[in-house]
């Protein structure tokens, strides 16, 4: 049973109370705690030794990544982070200096986005280091963007460049909080997600939640230099385009807007974020499924993103 099958079974009949606006199935849970114009975003995520980083990874970057993953999910819903709790699982004989350095990377990122680290838990974990973050954020009720909401005819956009994140980006990416806040303030976004498991996999989450399909233009997909130059790996074969579709851990924003907003959005983005790439890579269609248009015609996308327990 893979990750998403397991999640589906576990969340099929969870208890909820009237404060739950949105439960499982999006980047964050959404809660109504009585604030006049804002909802509370609630998110948890973890990084695990041997899965999300290695023993050779700089500890400052491991701490950065642990918090940045949650910040990226808050960005994907158009919110702003507020406070976080940190759970540390440490093996016997752990190196305290490693932990202090990991925390320094986490604290630097928290200070940059005015996030309070308000406590947490430490425990023993025989399998290696585990850092779990529980994060609270806020989103305006009128600007909280979900995965559901993509509409037939929408343009599909993505920030940055995709693929090859294992060459270094997965440890030091900057969550797109500033860009997301600007987007939701100036444009009517219909659906959004952050790309953590790969473009092909995460776009399918939007399509499933929205009840539609999409066609991507191969030549428009922004392939990173790392994906173009990555060394051959028998465990991860494929072209640079395959890497951009399926590698994961890019932590870029993937979103849809009405087609009439596409050109004004691109023009305004270039003026506001000249150093961050933004590309229109496809459109939402009524026909189910995900397709790719290349010079050889139109074909179903066979790539999927990263899945735990696959």
Give residue-wise pLDDT tens across range 65-76. 999 999 999 999
| Strand stretches in the chain, DSSP E | 20-22, 29-31, 38-48, 80-90, 116-124, 130-140, 155-159, 189-194, 213-217, 253-257, 278-285, 289-294, 297-300
Phi, psi (rounded to 5 degrees) for 120: 155, -140
| Chain position carrying tokens 């498991």 | 197
- The pLDDT-based confidence of 37 (bands split at 50, 70, 90) is very high
pLDDT exceeding 70 applies to what percent of the chain?
95
Helices 177-186 & 59-76, crossing angle to 10 degrees? 10
Instruction: Enumerate the H helices of 80-139 as residue ranges.
Output: 96-112
Rounded to two decimals, the pTM is: 0.93
Phi, psi (rounded to 5 degrees) for 227: -70, -35
On the question of pLDDT at 53 being above 90, the answer is yes
Helices 96-112 & 59-76, crossing angle to 10 degrees? 30
**38, 138 contact by CB (below 8 A):** yes
Q: How would you classify the pairing of strands 213-217 and 278-285?
A: antiparallel
Rounded CA gap, 159 and 179, in Å? Answer: 9
Mean pLDDT over the full length of the chain:
94
The architecture (CATH level 2) of 14-140 comes to: 2-Layer Sandwich (3.30)
pLDDT in tens, 272-283: 999 999 999 999
Give residue 251's pLDDT.
98
Q: How far is CA 121 from the centre of its chain?
A: 25
Q: What share of the chain is helix, strand, coil (3-state, %, to 5)?
A: 35, 30, 40
Q: How would you classify the pairing of strands 130-140 and 80-90?
A: antiparallel
Give residue 9's pLDDT.
81
Domain map of the chain by residue range? 14-140, 155-300
**250, 243 contact by CB (below 8 A):** no
Rounded CA gap, 211 and 284, in Å? Answer: 10
pLDDT in tens, 133-158: 999 999 999 999 999 999 999 999 99
Rounded CA gap, 288 and 208, in Å? Answer: 9
In CATH terms, is domain 155-300 a member of 3.90.650.10? Answer: yes
Rounded CA gap, 88 and 59, in Å? Answer: 13
């Amino acid at each position: 049973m893979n990750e998403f099958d397991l999640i589906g079974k576990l969340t099929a009949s969870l208890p909820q109370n009237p404060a739950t606006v949105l439960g499982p199935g999006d980047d964050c849970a959404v809660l109504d705690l009585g604030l006049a114009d804002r909802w509370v975003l609630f998110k948890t995520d973890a990084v695990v030794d041997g899965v999300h980083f290695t023993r050779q990874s700089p500890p400052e970057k491991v701490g950065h990544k642990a918090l940045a993953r949650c910040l990226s999910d808050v960005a994907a819903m158009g919110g702003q982070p507020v406070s976080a709790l940190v759970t540390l699982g440490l093996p016997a004989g752990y190196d305290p200096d490693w932990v202090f350095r990991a925390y320094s990377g986490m604290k630097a990122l928290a200070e940059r986005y005015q996030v309070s680290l308000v406590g947490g838990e430490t425990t023993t974990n025989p399998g290696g280091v585990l850092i779990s973050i529980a994060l609270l954020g806020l989103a305006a009720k009128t600007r909280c963007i979900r995965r559901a909401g993509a509409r037939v005819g929408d343009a599909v956009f993505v920030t940055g460049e995709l693929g090859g994140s294992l060459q270094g980006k997965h440890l030091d990416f900057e969550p797109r909080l500033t860009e997301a806040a600007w987007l939701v303030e100036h444009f009517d976004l219909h659906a959004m997600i952050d790309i953590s498991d790969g473009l092909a996999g995460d776009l399918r989450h939007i399509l499933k939640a929205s009840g539609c399909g999409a066609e991507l233009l191969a030549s428009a997909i922004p392939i990173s230099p790392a994906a173009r130059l990555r060394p051959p790996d028998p465990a991860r074969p494929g072209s640079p385009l395959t890497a951009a579709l399926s590698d994961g851990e890019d932590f870029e924003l993937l979103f849809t807007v009405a087609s009439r907003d596409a050109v004004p959005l691109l023009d305004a983005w270039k003026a506001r974020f000249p150093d961050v790439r933004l590309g229109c890579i496809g459109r939402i269609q009524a026909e189910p499924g995900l397709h790719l248009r290349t010079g050889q015609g139109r074909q179903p996308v066979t790539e999927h993103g990263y899945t735990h327990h696959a």
